[in-house]
Amino acid sequence: MANTVDKYFDLVDQNQQKFIETLREVVEIPSVSSDASKRGEVVRMGEWLQARWEQLGAQCKRIDPGKQILEGEELDLPPVILGQYGNDANKKTVLVYGHYDVQPALLEEDPFTLVEMDDGRLVGRGSTDDKGPILGWLLCVETHKQAGLDFPVNLKFCFEGMEESGSEGLDAIIIDQADKWFKGTDVVCISDNYWLGKNKPCLTHGLRGVSYFHLEVEGPGADLHSGVFGGTVHEPMVDLVHLLSKLVDTNGRIQIPGIYDQVMPVTDEEELTYENLEFSHVALATDLKHDVIIHAEERDTLKHRWRYPTLSIHGVEGAFYSPGDKTVIPAKVKGKFSLRTVPNMEPKRVAELVTAFLEKEFAKLGSKNRMRVIETHGGRWWYSSPNHPNFVAGARATELVYGVKPDLTREGGSIPVTLTFEENLNVNVLLLPMGAADDGAHSINEKIDRRNYIQGIKLLGAYLHEVAVTDMTA
Ligand code: BES
Ligand code: ZN
């Protein structure tokens, strides 16, 4: 194994520039899943992937999950690309998952052009979330194949184009294919998260869930002139602002009664897991550009990121938001907020508590407007033990590439499919990140460092070699 892995590492080093060019090619496809006008690009990105994998000899199966209504338009959901590379009964089978859609990038000048900076940053939408990592798997196979190196495992893959928009349609496909396409899977690996800091790699064994809500307040039949109607009608926007202000206080404490009741208490054993991690408020404040951190202690910041629920307010549809002044009373507004959920919260209970609370608060306003709470999606949290041999393989691979033992982390973000795989395929799932804490996924100027991208391609390959020689039944 050592010989093959060394050769693989050398080849990755030699091909660095070519790999960056491949990243450039995919960043240029603006596969934004939340934008109806970009749906064709999302599909194009899925087709690009399928074609590249088929060129390598992988067997692919494209599944079109059906339709979706977005911005009043009926759209085809982008394809889920399932694939299989190698089918040797003597090898283990690893399933990898990733997403080829990206977040919108509204404030940037040229987000879909990859820019190589002198300090090693590769800036471009999707570079770290999640195009760099999904290319990692592809380039790993390509490199082995071109050099005639034995591929250590059978690789199955599942790439979707709707992750950033709630993975619509994917759960049903996984459940349906559990005994078909996914049959024989020994372990799962997902590379769709980030290191805790900028220098130390990690393995991740927990994610929060997310329950997303729209709070709609509707009043008159059309927008009104505030000079004529201000003070004489109940204004939807005023009601909405009152309601939104009740959800969470300015220190992040959720104000909805009962929401903390299902949260698991911190044990002494858990307390130890916050020791010796590569995480500091100084580094975090630098990444944030301004020190807006609520908590005094690092471990409290981590607890609020990983193991307590939080509530964020994202925006208001229908509100006036352009520069300049406009004296309008919007007729109908929709507030958007979400809760990140943790063990042992249940999305159904969360939705009940949120709805009951808002109805009660709305009744107190005595408004003649109409209010509706809509839960648009609810993905469950995932928490697993990091003692499984899959994590041992991930840790060995990390040491081989980076020369250090990885931190063990949980994450505040969500990848709902993680739990779907674990529950329906009955296998262990490892989250093995490529990017670093300051990559700015979902933010302006998303990047991946050249070092993380190139070493990350090595890491994913090394992991597959380690799985091949690790007893997964232990
Ligand atoms: N890559 C992220 C998940 C993530 C975020 C992992 C932060 C670790 C830290 C993923 O692409 C993502 O953003 N997911 C969405 C899921 C949601 C739309 C259901 C999220 O977390 O908001
Ligand atoms: Zn992602």
Q: Read off the pLDDT of residues 444-462 as tens digits, 9 standing for 90 and up.
A: 999 999 999 999 999 999 9
Instruction: Say what the pTM is.
Output: 0.95
Query: Beta-carbon neighbour count of residue 255 at 10 Å?
Result: 13
Domain ranges of the chain: 2-207+381-468, 209-264+307-379
Tell me if 438 CB under 6 Å of ligand 1: no
| Second-level CATH architecture of 2-207+381-468 | 3-Layer(aba) Sandwich (3.40)
Tell me if 446 CB under 6 Å of ligand 1: no
The pair of structure tokens assigned to 435 is 């990017």
What SS3 class is residue 389? Answer: helix
399 catalytic? Reply is no
Q: How far apart are the first and last CA of the chain?
A: 21
Nearest CA, atom 7, ligand 1: 413
**pLDDT at res. 107:** 76
Buried b (16+ CB within 10 A) or exposed e, 447-471: bbbbebbbbbbbbbbbbbbbbbebe
**pLDDT at res. 473:** 84
Tell me if 413 CB under 6 Å of ligand 1: yes
Of 41, 129, 163, 235, catalytic: 163
In this chain, the answer to whether the domains covering 2-207+381-468 and 209-264+307-379 adopt an identical fold is: no
Kindly give the distance from the C-alpha atom of residue 240 to the centroid of ligand 2, in angstroms, as a whole number.
Answer: 31
466 catalytic? Reply is no
**pLDDT at res. 474:** 67
Of 35, 101, 168, 449, catalytic: 101
The pair of structure tokens assigned to 354 is 């949120």
Query: Beta-carbon neighbour count of residue 154 at 10 Å?
Result: 21
Tell me if 193 CB under 6 Å of ligand 1: yes
Concatenate the DSSP letters of all residues of 32-48 into one string. Answer: BTT-GGGHHHHHHHHHH
The pair of structure tokens assigned to 23 is 């990243």
**CA 137 to each of CA 233, 273, 343: distance values in angstroms, whole numbers, following the listed order:** 59, 30, 31
| Second-level CATH architecture of 209-264+307-379 | 2-Layer Sandwich (3.30)
Tens-digit pLDDT string for the chain (474 aa): 779 999 999 999 999 999 999 999 999 999 999 999 999 999 999 999 999 999 999 999 999 999 999 888 999 999 999 999 999 999 999 999 999 999 999 877 899 999 999 999 999 999 999 999 999 999 999 999 999 999 999 999 999 999 999 899 999 999 999 999 999 999 999 999 999 999 999 999 999 999 999 999 999 999 999 999 999 999 999 999 999 999 999 999 999 999 999 999 999 999 999 999 999 999 999 999 999 999 999 999 999 999 999 999 999 999 999 999 999 999 999 999 999 999 999 999 999 999 999 999 999 999 999 999 999 988 999 999 899 999 999 999 999 999 999 999 999 999 999 999 999 999 999 999 999 999 999 999 999 999 999 999 999 999 999 999 999 986
